Structure 1
Amino acid sequence: MLVLPALTACGVETVGTAATAGAVKQQEIEQGRAVQQQVQQQLQQSMDQTQQQRTEQLDQATR
């Protein structure tokens, strides 16, 4: 009968560990999404800037 409480305690610890690991993974996913959004914004800004520079160069070349 003493074995049952010991096995139950192991199960509780395993569930707690799994919940902690899940929370860590969720945080990693959220951080990854934030980084992805930042990179997309930087890429868009770079593309906009390049387009603006090309437009200015074309305007100067046609004068």
Structure 2
Amino acid sequence: MPTSQPEAAGPSEDRATPDDLLHTRTGTEVSAEDVVLAAGRDLTPRNLEWARRKLESEGPAALEKLLP
């Protein structure tokens, strides 16, 4: 009978994140904060302004372009 290992009970680092957690859903509003975080940037006034401009020019697709 195998013994349980504590580290085996936690999430594995080599598991892929499901697509439904990576991509926006149809009908959801995309905020400047979403774009900043998807770009891996800090939430600063400068980055939020960059994200607002990006959303104005690209629309909600701006977020999809940043996600894998």
| Pair in the same fold by TM > 0.5 | no
The alignment's TM-score, normalised by the length of structure 2, stands at: 0.23
| Structure with max Cα Rg | 1
User: Greater RCO between the two (CA within 8 Å, min separation 6)?
Assistant: 2
More helix by share: 1
TM-score, normalised to structure 1, is 0.25
